[in-house]
Amino acid sequence: MRTRVGIIGGGPAGLLLARMLHREGIDCVVLEARTRTYVERRQRAGMLEQGTADALRACGAGARLDAEGLVHHGIELRFERGRHHLDFPALAGRTVTIYAQTEIVKDLVALQLAEGPPLLFEAEAYAIEKPESDAPRIRFRHEGRERTLDCDWVIGCDGFHGIARAAIPAALRRTYTYDFPYSWLGILADVPPSCEELIYARGADGFALHSMRSPSVSRLYLQVPNGTEPSAWPDDRIWRTLDERFATDDGWRLERGPITAKSVTPMRSYVSEPMRHGRLLLAGDAAHIVPPTGAKGLNLAVSDVRLLARAFAERERTGSEQLLDSYSQLCLERVWQATRFSFDMTTMLHAQPGGGAFEQRLQHARLRRIADSPHAAAELAALYTGLPLGG
Ligand code: RFL
Ligand code: PHB
């Protein structure tokens, strides 16, 4: 097999890039290790920056997003039993949209299977050869056979556990990692959300987040210790802990319903530099991970591929590789801003295990500053709703 751009990974980054390249008339192929059912069911992100929603619309994947996505004008910060609303249009001139990553993946898969370019499921890449040459090659397994895909360019959109990052020689790579000393227990529940906007709560003994998937499905998260097994959290314990962490003095109530999914996610920051080696470029979780408190992971993946698609389109039209040459640097500037923001949100809202009264007073001072100062609130709103693309 041969193509111009070989894309490893059919998550949101790989699928959106394929769609954007296809619309520019640039030939590409997507290899996805898992089945279609698996990638369409993987429960993950839900909060889209305006730029992310606009990018999906611009490539023809906006119909269901516009019909079913929930436009949010702010978030609520909850601490010391009080509620503080942040008004995003007033503070940052932008809104955000709640639309599940599973739905984005379904929309992009359906478009790609209907209109191309080729998307192979159960096609696992196991080697990238000669990335520094003009003719890199991907080796992969598909339908019990070992096959090759010859490319002009290889894009690693294969997530944190993929193979692409390791195809950059270790001597040329720098990685930066921070593991937070807590995890999130996430649930889906068949109950209408108890709020109109997302609630980020610093409860007395830890963090809780109230998000949603639709007018009838709630998505909730709880801070739990690292190494927690979901089975240690029967439904009743989850609801009781959520009640405690969201408790206010004005009698707000969390509605309960049947829990349909439960999983634990560790909280990690990770950045691998550079994001390009010869004709291999990385995008999304393959190059960087942020803790979900800032809701930035999917949005960063989409920003990467928007820049990539723009760079390939420029090369196609003018022959210039200037944007491709600055791709890694442009992405990493944004990635570090998001890493910093996600770190600040995470450390401001979670209980530090073994943390003393001093740390807790500092957290409350940070939260209080955001609640009281329009400048501090505007800074949070600008970063949460998304920085402009640049480039
Ligand atoms: P993905 O989604 O991991 O997709 C990578 C794909 O590559 C495939 N693959 C391979 N294919 C072929 N050959 C190989 N050798 C391969 N190795 C791997 C995999 O099967 C997979 O299909 O990465 P991508 O596309 O970069 O997308 C990144 C996002 O998925 C991720 O950043 C977000 O989900 C993070 N995230 C959130 N981001 C947000 O912007 N807003 C949020 O509200 C938000 N909430 C979250 C989140 C992540 C969470 N978890 C579970 C980590 C909430 C949670 C709980
Ligand atoms: C989600 O809806 O899954 C979600 C929303 C906001 C976050 C993290 C996760 O910060």
Distances (CA, A) of 194 to 112, 203, 205, 240, 251: 36, 17, 21, 15, 12
The 10s digit of each residue's pLDDT in 202-253 is: 999 999 999 999 999 999 999 999 999 999 999 999 999 999 999 999 999 9
Superfamily of domain 5-70+99-177+268-349: FAD/NAD(P)-binding domain (3.50.50.60)
Instruction: Please state the pTM of the whole predicted model.
Output: 0.96
Choose the catalytic residue: 99, 182, 221, 384: 384
The 10s digit of each residue's pLDDT in 277-336 is: 999 999 999 999 999 999 999 999 999 999 999 999 999 999 999 999 999 999 999 999
Name the band, by pLDDT with cuts 50, 70 and 90, for residue 388: confident
The residue whose CB lies within 8 Å of the most ligand 2 atoms, and thus the one to mutate among 76, 77, 209, is 209
The pLDDT score that the predictor gives to residue 391 is 52
Name the band, by pLDDT with cuts 50, 70 and 90, for residue 355: confident
Ligand 2 atom nearest residue 294's Cα: 10
**Active-site residue, 130 included:** no
From the CB of 211, is ligand 2 less than 6 Å away? yes
The 10s digit of each residue's pLDDT in 26-78 is: 999 999 999 999 999 988 888 999 999 999 999 999 999 999 999 999 999 99
Domain boundaries, the chain: 5-70+99-177+268-349, 179-267+353-385
Q: Hey, do 5-70+99-177+268-349 and 179-267+353-385 end up sharing a CATH topology, with the first three levels equal?
A: no
Write out the CATH class of domain 179-267+353-385. Answer: alpha beta
From the CB of 101, is ligand 2 less than 6 Å away? no
From the CB of 298, is ligand 2 less than 6 Å away? no
- The CA 104 to ligand 1 mean position distance, Å, reads 12
Ligand 1 atom nearest residue 15's Cα: 25
**Active-site residue, 384 included:** yes
- The CA 103 to ligand 1 mean position distance, Å, reads 13
The pLDDT score that the predictor gives to residue 350 is 97
From the CB of 367, is ligand 2 less than 6 Å away? no
* Percent share of the chain, pLDDT over 90: 95
- The CA 152 to ligand 2 mean position distance, Å, reads 37
Q: Are residues 265 and 184 in contact, defined by beta-carbon separation less than 8 angstroms?
A: yes
Choose the catalytic residue: 12, 117, 292, 327: 292
Choose the catalytic residue: 210, 277, 296, 350: 296
Which residue owns the Cα nearest ligand 1 atom 47?
45
The pLDDT score that the predictor gives to residue 389 is 81
- The CA 69 to ligand 2 mean position distance, Å, reads 14
pLDDT mean across residues, the chain:
96
The residue whose CB lies within 8 Å of the most ligand 2 atoms, and thus the one to mutate among 219, 220, 267, 346, is 219
Query: Among 47-56, 123-132, 233-242, 355-364, which is the least confidently predicted range?
Result: 355-364
User: Ligand 1: residues within 6 Å at CB?
Assistant: 8-14, 31-34, 39, 44-47, 101, 124-125, 157-159, 162-163, 186, 265, 284-285, 292, 295-299, 301
